[in-house]
C-alpha cells in the first residue's frame, strides 16, 4: 500500500463497461480520482457511486494528476482525448504519466508516445484483457509497452485492478501483444462454437460434454466462462462483436505490414461480419455459434 500512496492524484478518462469499474477500484484503494467521460451523465453517476470528482474536459480532469489512465473507443477517440482542443496532453504536468488502456493500433501509440515526449510526459500503452468481469473483479491482464521507468512508476496504480501486469517491450509492444490476444481468442471462440454446435446436432448433452472435455486439452477460459450462455443462446454480456471486429481489423492491417499470415483470423473476422448481419453487433463475441445455428 505504501507504493500506492505515493501516487494519490489520478485521472481516469473514459467510463465505459471497462473504465468505470477500473476507476472505481482506484478510488476504493484510497486514491484521489477525477474522472472524465464524453457523456457527462456517466461521470456524474460514477461520482455519486464512488466519490471522487468529475471534469467536463480531459484537460480539466488531468490537472495536477501524477498518473492519467484512459480507456476509450478507438484510434480517433484516443487522439481526441490526448491531442484535441481540450486534450489531456495540454493540461498534464511535466513528468506525469499517461497510461492508455484502450485497444488501438501500434501506429497511433507510437505517434502519441512521441507527442507525449515532446510535452515532457511519459506514455505507456497498456491494453487490457479479461472482459467486463475482469474489470469489475479487479483481475485484468495488462500488457504494456513504453519506457521501463514510466512503467515501474505506474505499476503500483495498475496493480489495483490487475491479475497480471507486465512490460513486454518498448512503445507499441503492449498493443502488439493485445493483437496476439485477440488473434488467439478468435480461433478459440470459433472452435468452441463448432464443438457445441456439433454436440447439439449429435443429440448430446452439451453441459455433460463440456464437463468432460474442459478437464483435458480442450479446456480454455472461453469454455469455462462462456459455454453455458452459448448453450442457452444468451449473448447480452461481455465483449461486443463490433469491438472485436475493430480489434481484428487492427490485427489484419498490422499483419499486412509485418508479413504475418493470419488465415484463420481473417476467416473468423468474416464470420463476425455475418453475425453483425444477423443483428448481433452488440452481442458478445461468443455469438459465433448463432451463425452456425442460423445455417441450419
Which residues are identified as catalytic? 178
E-state strands within the chain? 9-13, 32-36, 53-54, 67-70, 97-100, 122-125, 128-129, 140-145, 162-169
Contacts of 85 (CB under 8 A, 6+ apart): none
Residue 72 phi, psi dihedral angles, 5° rounding: -115, -150
- For residue 112, how far is the Cα from the chain centroid? 18
Who's near 163: CB < 8 A, 6+ residues apart? 130, 134, 138, 139, 140, 141
Nearest CA among 50, 66, 77 for reference residue 99: 66
Written as one string, the DSSP assignment of 246-288 is HHHHHHHHHHHHHT---HHHHHHHHHHHHHHHTT-TTSBGGGH
Query: CA-CA distance, 282 to 276, in Å (whole number)?
Result: 8
8 A C-beta contact, residue 106 and residue 172 = yes
Amino acid at each position: 500500500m505504501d507504493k500506492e500512496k505515493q501516487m494519490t492524484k489520478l485521472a481516469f478518462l473514459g467510463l465505459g463497461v471497462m473504465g468505470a469499474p477500473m476507476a472505481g477500484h482506484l478510488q476504493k484503494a484510497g486514491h484521489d480520482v477525477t474522472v472524465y467521460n464524453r457523456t457527462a451523465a456517466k461521470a456524474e453517476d460514477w461520482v455519486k457511486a464512488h466519490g471522487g470528482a468529475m471534469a467536463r474536459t480531459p484537460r480539466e480532469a488531468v490537472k495536477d494528476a501524477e498518473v492519467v489512465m484512459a480507456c476509450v473507443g478507438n484510434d480517433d477517440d484516443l487522439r481526441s482525448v490526448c491531442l484535441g482542443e481540450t486534450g489531456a496532453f495540454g493540461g498534464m504536468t511535466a513528468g506525469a504519466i499517461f497510461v492508455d488502456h484502450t485497444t488501438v493500433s501500434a501506429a497511433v501509440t507510437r505517434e502519441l508516445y512521441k507527442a507525449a515526449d515532446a510535452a515532457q510526459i511519459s506514455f505507456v500503452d497498456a491494453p487490457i484483457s479479461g472482459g467486463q468481469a475482469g474489470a469489475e473483479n479487479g483481475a485484468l491482464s495488462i500488457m504494456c509497452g513504453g519506457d521501463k521507468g514510466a512503467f515501474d512508476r505506474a505499476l503500483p496504480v495498475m496493480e489495483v485492478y490487475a491479475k497480471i501486469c507486465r512490460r513486454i517491450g518498448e512503445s507499441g509492444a503492449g498493443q502488439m501483444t493485445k493483437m496476439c490476444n485477440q488473434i488467439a481468442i478468435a480461433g478459440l471462440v470459433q472452435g468452441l462454437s463448432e464443438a457445441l454446435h456439433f454436440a447439439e446436432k449429435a443429440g448430446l448433452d452439451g453441459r455433460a460434454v463440456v464437463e468432460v472435455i474442459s478437464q483435458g486439452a480442450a479446456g480454455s477460459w472461453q469454455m469455462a466462462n462462456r459455454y453455458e450462455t452459448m448453450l442457452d443462446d444468451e449473448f447480452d454480456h461481455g465483449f461486443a462483436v463490433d469491438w472485436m471486429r475493430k480489434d481484428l481489423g487492427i490485427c489484419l492491417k498490422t499483419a499486412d505490414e509485418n508479413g504475418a499470415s493470419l488465415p484463420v483470423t481473417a476467416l473468423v473476422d468474416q464470420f463476425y461480419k455475418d453475425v453483425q448481419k444477423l443483428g448481433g453487433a452488440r452481442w458478445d463475441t461468443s455469438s459465433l455459434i448463432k451463425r452456425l445455428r442460423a445455417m441450419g
